[in-house]
Amino acid sequence: MAGSSPDDEAREVEALVRVVMPLFAGKPLSVQGEALANLLALWLSGHVVADDPKATETMRSVLLNLHVGAVRELTTIFYREHVEPTLEGGQRARRGRNGFADPDRERVEVDHWARGRA
């Protein structure tokens, strides 16, 4: 948003997230992940350097790396604020080898997602 303050942009992002979250609620993790991948690809595809495919690819790569870094940071924050307090009465759930609270369920979700990507 040209001319917007960081606070204005943050408020707009929060408002958009509040609108979109109910669309994802209750959907399988595999469906949520695929939908987010599609939206990210759509966002990246809109970044184009006219008449320069190599520069376009470089720019998209940089943007994707920055985006993944931001997602990693936000994941830690959201986990602490929204997920962790719901686990076993506010206590940290016992974790499996892969770090998930329910390794078997998460493994099934990841396997399902991976099959759809192959």
- DSSP letter assigned to residue 94: P
Model confidence band, residue 75 (pLDDT cutoffs 50, 70, 90): very high
pLDDT score, position 31: 94
Question: Where along the chain do its domains lie?
Answer: 6-117
**DSSP string across 11-43:** HHHHHHHHHHHHHHTTS-HHHHHHHHHHHHHHH
Q: What angle do CA 99, 105, 110 make, to 5 degrees?
A: 75
- What would the pLDDT profile of 88-115 be if each residue is shown by its tens digit? 755 555 454 444 455 455 544 444 445 5
Residue pair 116/30 in contact by the 8 Å Cβ criterion: yes
Model confidence band, residue 116 (pLDDT cutoffs 50, 70, 90): low
pLDDT score, position 98: 43
pLDDT score, position 65: 97
Residue pair 109/29 in contact by the 8 Å Cβ criterion: yes
Q: Which residues contact 98 (CB under 8 A, 6 or more apart)?
A: 106, 107
pLDDT score, position 105: 52
The HSE-up count of residue 95 (CA atoms within 13 Å, CB side) is: 7
- What would the pLDDT profile of 34-69 be if each residue is shown by its tens digit? 999 999 999 999 999 999 999 999 999 999 999 999
Question: Taking 50 as the threshold, does the pLDDT of residue 117 lie above it?
Answer: no
Model confidence band, residue 30 (pLDDT cutoffs 50, 70, 90): very high
d(CA 70, CA 89): 29
d(CA 86, CA 90): 5
